[in-house]
Every structure is written in structure tokens, then in C-alpha cells.
Structure 1
Amino acid sequence: MTTIYDIAKKTGFSITTVSRALNNYTDVSKTTKKIILDAVTEMGYYPNSSARSLTTKKSWTLGVIFVEDLGIGMKHPFFSAVIESFKQNAEAQGYDIIFLSRNVGGEEKSYLDHASHRGVDGIIIMCSDHKDKEVQQLIESPFPTVVVDLHSDQSSVVYSDNFRGSMLAVDHLVELGHRNIAHIKGHDTTYAGLERLRGFRAAMEKHSLSIPSSYIVDGGFFSVDGGYLAMKELLQLNEHRPTAVFVAGDNMALGALKACKESGITVPDDLSIVGFDDIEVGQHITPTLTTIHQDTDLIGKKASEVLIQQINTRSNEYAAVTIPVKLIVRESTKAIS
């Protein structure tokens, strides 16, 4: 069985250098790391997890906390895509991931208790409610953390440029000639919902467009049903019905399209719709959905990099990474006649 000593002998590097390269320390040059990793592949070296933990004082396990209010869990396309990207990049760095719940051994525990029980090295947090008390407790703990799609001054954060995405959506509709633009917003407890609403208001103000109070409708926690009910409410407006609607999430936009179809409203001939997320199904419905694209692969990748860097350096300095978004124009928007 190949050992770390065999790798050191073959490459001519010290055991310490080999160990630091295998554990992804930043003070090992790329050239040295490549030589060592090539030898690892050639000799079929596979480190014993217990021995590696004793040597590095790490468990080589990252915790995932995923809290959302719809009750659909990993079926949510945005969160599942981000977590899959995070998982792939973490595994490439030698880490396993486990999901942390409020249940340990059949007993109700806090997330902090579960993280301590499992001895994870760091935690990625995905939570729709930015005021969740248990999540805040975990962020304030000594555990290295990275938070996705929330803002925090006490943790590293990675999120899409929600504000800019809303600006792009409204700019697109204005360029098509729309002036009466409504917004189906996400719930007020969600950071994404608040930021997208803030961006919508700023864009409308930039174009000197008024926003009647009836033009902003709550779609809840980004569900199809929430978008359906919100669009039904907008379609009941007898005067000054909007000619376009910016919807804060693609799942809600799917519900909005369903409401339009049931009401005899043709999209985009009678009403233009822009979503946010760019989930895959948006490319295959009729009409295909104009939307704001979130780079879920990059969000997951950056989250893993930020968290592992914080673990390796044992630093209390927090990183804030904003991921750019872009407008994807499809069939659900049209120039107003």
C-alpha cells in the first residue's frame, strides 16, 4: 500500500511539503503541487481519512444547512443547482459534505449542536429567511461559514447581483416601449425578494415611471402558486392594467403564465413577462421565458473556495462575493404597439 512517505521519496519533496500540497495549503507552488498530485495518481495513493484528520487537525467534512419556507427542499431548482456545484468543488478539494438538520440521534437540537456533534470544518448556509434565529446563532459561532443568497456582516457571503438584475429587467421592458410595469415580489423575509424589489423601484425611478400601489403584489416564497395568485390579482385591475410584469422568480413566473392562459390573456401579445433565475424549464415552455440568468455553477464554486480558504487560513476576515447576472431574452416579452 502506497504511503505518504513513498510519495515524498518519489518526488524528492519533504513529507511536510507533500502533506501541505495534498491538503491544499496556499504556500505550496502550483508546479510543486502538480508534481506531487501526478505522483499520487501514478502510484494510486489514497490517504486514510482517520490518519489525515490526526495529521491536519481537520475532519475534512463540510456541513450544509438548507432552510426554505416552501417545504419542497432540494426540489427547488436554484438551491439544488448551487448545492450540486458546491459539492463538486468541495469534493475536488478532498472534502465530504453532510446535511445538518435540527435532529441529532432522534433528539431535537440546534444547528450549532449538530455542527459541533459532527465536528465539521465549516458550513455553507442557504436560508430563505434572513432573520432565522438559529442561523444567526450559527453565523455568530466560531465555525467558518459562508452564506448564499443572504447578506451578513458576520460571515462570508456569496450572492447574485439581485439589484442589478431587476434594473436589467425593467430596462428591457422600457426599451420595448412599456411604461405600465408591475412587479410580483418575493416575500419580505427573503434577501433576494427585498433586493429585487429595491432594484425594481430604482429602475422605475430612473425612467421617471410611477408605481401605483396596486402594481406591487406579494408572490410569497417564490412558488408557482404564489405567482399564480399574484397574477390573478393584477389581472383584476379594471383601469390602467399593466402591459408588462417583472416577476421576482421563475417559479412564480410559471404560475403567472398559467393565470394569464386561464384568463384569456396572451403572452406576449397582451402582456409581457420577465422572470428571474433562468431555471431550465423556462427554455421549454410556451412562450419561452425572458429572464435574468443566475450563474448557479459559479455561486457554488465561489462558495466552496471562500469557505475552504477561510478554513485553511483560520482567518476571521470575511469575503463578500457578488456574482454578475445577465438578461436572457426569449419569447415572453414583446415591443408594445
Structure 2
Amino acid sequence: MGTIYDLAKITGFSITTVSKALNNYSDVSEKTKAKIVQAAADMGYLPNAHAQSLSTKRSWTIGVMFSEANEVGMMHPFFNAIIESFRKATEQQGYDLIFASRNLRNRDMSYLEHFQHRAVDGIVVICSDQMDKHVQELIQSSIPIVVVDMDSTDCSVVFSDNLSGGTLAVNHLYELGHRLIAHIAGDMTIDAGLARIEGYKQAMDRLALPIPDGYLINGGFFSVEEGKQAMQTLLALPKRPTAVFVAGDQMAIGAMEAIHEAGLQVPHDISVVGYDDIEMSKYVTPKLTTVRQDTERIGQHAAELLIEQIVNKKRVMTTDIIPVDLIVRQSTGPVKA
């Protein structure tokens, strides 16, 4: 790696001009700056990323923010898988990720101010809490943004076809002979939870199946414990369901625990369908039938949408709905005669 003196000699500019160009001074022309930056990169004087930043006026960083009511962030397998897919796709294009700390809420700085201070080129928000004022501030800003797992007309969004997912689950249980089908829903303030509820309701209506009182129950924010508590409530009904569609795999695991603790068997007494197809769903007993969200595709599409905006220097408002699949395992079976 050469010195600034070598760089001045190679380019024919003074040491002062070279120094100003490398530090992005405004009194150096763009043509001169580009020549010096390219020479610096060629001789290894500057790391390529730094050189690229100077020549393209990009930081080559993307901000990541989580906004969910239970604040599990990357601890949730679904969100973790999306971020991993997003990371791989963006790193292939030369970007690094900067994660916003929740400690910002205890400081006199908003997420927008934080990302502006870090000069990120774009932001991805993993969001189940559309009422979060920090999310809305980011959406209304001029920074390129993609929001995952939330519907909005004010920015680019990527989310699963949750309406179809609810329908797939109910149709599967109906084909197995079930008519008493309950739904443990995700929190009803969350887009994904609401869409899965609507898919459940529409499927029940098309199949001319009534929804008895108490069969649609709010399971909260997709945790194992909340799923267990919701299932205990269903088991206490005068006429318990023979099958349950649960809006998240972690809740479904909790629901199966409640069924087992009540001395019943899955699927012999009650069939259970989850949602997400997290890794653990393959290893619980019995293995969980679930609606699979394509986290690889969600992360990839989110990355593509965001980088397109960064490169074109233009925000885009588009809705990308990713198809879902039903994965049939051992937690569902024919209705007991």
C-alpha cells in the first residue's frame, strides 16, 4: 500500500488536493475527486468500500429496525430467518447492516435521527406494530425504506399472503372431517393477525360452518405461554373444538402443551395447525402441521426493493405479497368418530 505522496505523484495533483479529495471537500471538482479516488483504490491506499463511498456518495450501509409489541426481535425464529435472508442478499451487493438499539428510546434521539446520523442509504423495518410512531416517522421521511410484515400504501411493503394462509388451514381441517374448528388468533391490532382471522372467517363461511361463541380467541403476541392460555380457555368450553388453527407456531406449541396437560392427545382428540413453519415445528411431538411463510423469499424481495430505491435515488410505493404453503405433518388427523 502506497502513501499519500505516491498517490500525488501518480495522479499529478498536489498533496493538498489529494487530501481534500479523499476527505470529500467541496472545493475539489467531482472529476478530480473521481480520478484520485479511483487511483487510491487501485493502489490499495483506501479500502474499496471507502473509495466507493467517496465516489458514489453512498455509505453502503442499511439500517435495520424491529418494531413488535413483544419486543423479541431476532429472538423470534420468523424474524431471524427474514433478517438472515435479507443480510445475505444485501451483502452480495456490498452493503453492511446497522441495527438500531432499543436504548434509543431512552435517549433524546429518534430512530430517524439515529439513521440520519449514521448516514444509512436505506432502512428495512420488521414491523408488526403499525401504530409505532417511530415507524410512521421513518415511513414519512425521504430515506428509501421497505417494511416487512405490515401493509401500507405509504411505502414499499413485503408480507405473506396471510388471508390465503387462514383459508389453507381451515380447508385442510375440513377435508379431514372437522366441523368444530376454532382459531387462536394473533393480536387483532396487527396486520398479519387480522388477515389470518379474515382468512379463517371467510373459509368457515364458504364451507357453511358456524363459528360458535368462544371459538375465535385472541392469543396475544404469538408467544408459547399465550398460546397455552388460549387453548386452556378453549378446552373449558361446554363443547370443545375438534381442531384448532393457531396463528403462530410458537402459540401452537403452547396449545399442544395445554392439550397434553389436559390428558388429551394431538391429533387423536384435537388437531392443531400452526403458522410460520419455524425450525422447531419439525421437532416437537407430534411434528406440527403448519402454514409455511417463505422467509427466504421475503428477505430477498425486501432487499431487492430497497436496493432498487437506493440505486435509482427514488422512493417506491409497492406491495409485494409472498405466497404461502401448507406443510402437513403429524399434528392433524381425521376427526374422531
Same-fold status (TM-score > 0.5): yes
Q: 1:117 to 1:268 in 2, by over 3 A?
A: same
Instruction: Look up the match of 1:138.
Output: 138
2:255 is the alignment partner of 1:256: yes
Cα distance in structure 2, aligned partners of 1:54 and 1:104: 29
Question: 2:64 aligns to what SS in structure 1?
Answer: strand
Gaps of 5+ in 1: 3-42
2:331 is the alignment partner of 1:332: yes
Bigger Rg, which one: 2
Q: 1:45 to 1:193 in 2, by over 3 A?
A: farther
Instruction: Look up the match of 2:198.
Output: 198
Deviation at 1:46, TM superposition (A): 8.7
Deviation at 1:234, TM superposition (A): 0.1
Instruction: Look up the match of 1:92.
Output: 92
Matched to 1:124, the amino acid is V
Give the TM-score of the pair, scaled to structure 1. Answer: 0.84
Question: 1:276 aligns to what SS in structure 2?
Answer: strand
Contact 2:142 2:315 in 1 (8 A): no
Deviation at 1:308, TM superposition (A): 0.2
Contact 2:78 2:295 in 1 (8 A): yes
Question: 1:79 aligns to what SS in structure 2?
Answer: helix
Deviation at 1:189, TM superposition (A): 1.8
Contact 1:102 1:111 in 2 (8 A): no
Moved over 4 A (4+): 43-47, 102-106
2:106 is the alignment partner of 1:118: no
Instruction: Look up the match of 2:307.
Output: 308
Q: 1:57 to 1:224 in 2, by over 3 A?
A: same
Gaps of 5+ in 2: 3-42
* Aligned residue-pair number: 296
Instruction: Look up the match of 2:39.
Output: none
Cα distance in structure 1, aligned partners of 2:94 and 2:101: 23
Contact 1:102 1:114 in 2 (8 A): no
Cα distance in structure 1, aligned partners of 2:171 and 2:251: 20
2:185 is the alignment partner of 1:185: yes
Instruction: Look up the match of 1:246.
Output: 245
Contact 1:101 1:114 in 2 (8 A): no
Matched to 2:189, the amino acid is T
Cα distance in structure 1, aligned partners of 2:198 and 2:166: 8
Cα distance in structure 2, aligned partners of 1:254 and 1:326: 19
Contact 2:171 2:203 in 1 (8 A): yes
Cα distance in structure 1, aligned partners of 2:191 and 2:213: 21
Instruction: Look up the match of 1:80.
Output: 80
Question: 1:326 aligns to what SS in structure 2?
Answer: strand
Matched to 2:145, the amino acid is T
Cα distance in structure 2, aligned partners of 1:165 and 1:77: 18
Matched to 1:184, the amino acid is I
Cα distance in structure 2, aligned partners of 1:86 and 1:271: 37
